[in-house]
Amino acid sequence: MTDLSPPFRAGHVGSLLRPKSVVEARKKHFEEGSISAEELKAAEDKAIPDLIRMQEDVGLKAVTDGEARRSFWHYDFMGMLTGLDLDERDEGVQFAGVKLRPIYPTITGKLDFPDDHPMLDHFRFVKDHTSVVPKISIPGPSCCHFRTAPEDIHVAEYKEDTQALFDDLAKTYRKAVSAFYDAGCRFLQMDDIFFAYLCDPKHRAEKKEQGQDPDWLIDRYAWMMREAIKDRPADMKIGMHMCRGNFRSTHAAEGAYDAAAEAIFSTGVDIFFMEYDTDRAGGLEPLGLLPKGKQRIMPGFITTKTAELESLDWLKSKFDEASKYVDLDQLGIAPQCGFASTEEGNAITEDDQKRKLELVVKTAEAIWGGV
């Protein structure tokens, strides 16, 4: 009988290209105002089971809703927290050659996770429509700090004492972990990509200019994650994804994991999804800092940014290299990032996306004999 308890050897980060029907419905609702929120939800409810089925058909044992109900991988979740609002302005965040839509998180009150956070229902929908393990990916606690400019923090306590902000973020996420567990979630992933950003000299310099020590931030980000998940029940697995940006197949950071690896592996997270599809991620040596045990790393050797398929022989060679630093039994395989971190999606097709996921499964079967 197939074991349906994570971790698995094959996985993916979470987001999928938005189906055409969802793209059209979102345009009608948000831009044209020609359909209601209920009609948009109906379009999503109709499309998401097909996304789930596609993941099941390729052989994955953990599936998501593809984040099809979201505009962004992070801001939608954050804007649904108590005390955090999203402001739209004139200038967006700069990626390589392209700018993100100008959405800015703004902290306006004491942070909390509301009992009726909409993504609890998003998760329940997946749970009700799959025969394998339902997973949801949400932004990690560091995102609420890293992506909020100091001038957009309007709570005096947080503005005067960053640790007070971190304390409340940890409490907020501890409550979120508990709420998702109560909703039936046994595989919760938090995307804490800013560990990787803080290994980039450019981003480190920006934080220093803001009067923040990047190494202290790495330490505090790891502390927040530990605090958020430390009381989770034994049958709940926590994943964490790290990358260097993924907007329309572009990136926003580069640099090896060395400065953050020790902190990353100290978080108590069970499964690490780590971008490794280009030289921007540096070498595999930091994987050697993973303690021996049951934690697992899913190196993202397979890119979601381009359609070209990696060869199975090349992937096997990458795992031969990785196994010099960490036991092969503590490794799995996943793509480097999601396929659509924002609703615009990467510069690939749905067929390309499916072939990439099929390659993930094929690689797991070739190396470990199964997914």
According to DSSP, residue 335 is labeled: B
Residue 148 near residue 88, CB atoms below 8 Å: no
Residue 299 near residue 11, CB atoms below 8 Å: no
Confidence (pLDDT) at 1: 40
pLDDT for 83 beyond 50: yes
Nearest 5°: phi and psi at 273?
A: -95, 110
Extract the tokens encoding 279: 């030289």
Read off the pLDDT of each residue in 212-217 and give the average, rounded to a whole number: 93
pLDDT for 150 beyond 60: yes
Residue 299 near residue 276, CB atoms below 8 Å: yes
pTM of the shown model: 0.93
Confidence (pLDDT) at 95: 47
Strands 98-99 and 271-275: unpaired
pLDDT in tens, 99-138: 557 889 999 999 999 999 999 999 999 999 999 999 999 9
Return the H-helix or E-strand segment holding 79: helix 75-79
Confidence (pLDDT) at 142: 94
Dihedral angle, C-alpha 278, 283, 212, 291, nearest 10 °: 120
Extract the tokens encoding 328: 């092969």
β-bridge partners, 10: 333
Percent of the chain surpassing pLDDT 90: 80
pLDDT for 90 beyond 80: no
Name the residue ranges covered by the structural domains of the chain. Answer: 20-368
pLDDT in tens, 297-346: 999 999 998 999 999 999 999 999 999 999 999 999 999 999 998 999 88
Return the H-helix or E-strand segment holding 168: helix 162-182
pLDDT in tens, 239-282: 999 887 655 545 556 777 888 999 999 999 999 999 997 777 78
Confidence (pLDDT) at 59: 98
Residue 350 near residue 17, CB atoms below 8 Å: yes
Q: Among the listed ranges 144-148, 162-166, 250-254, 312-316, which one has the minimum average pLDDT value?
A: 250-254
Confidence (pLDDT) at 369: 97
* Averaged confidence pLDDT in the chain: 92
pLDDT for 92 beyond 80: no
CATH 3.20.20.210 fits 20-368, yes or no: yes
According to DSSP, residue 234 is labeled: T
β-bridge partners, 191: 139, 241
121-129, long-range: CB < 8 A, 24+ apart: 122/65, 122/69, 123/180, 123/183, 123/184, 123/185, 124/183, 124/184, 125/45, 125/48, 125/65, 126/48, 126/52, 126/63, 126/64, 126/65, 127/183, 127/184, 127/185, 129/48, 129/49, 129/52
Look up residue 187 and give its amino acid.
F
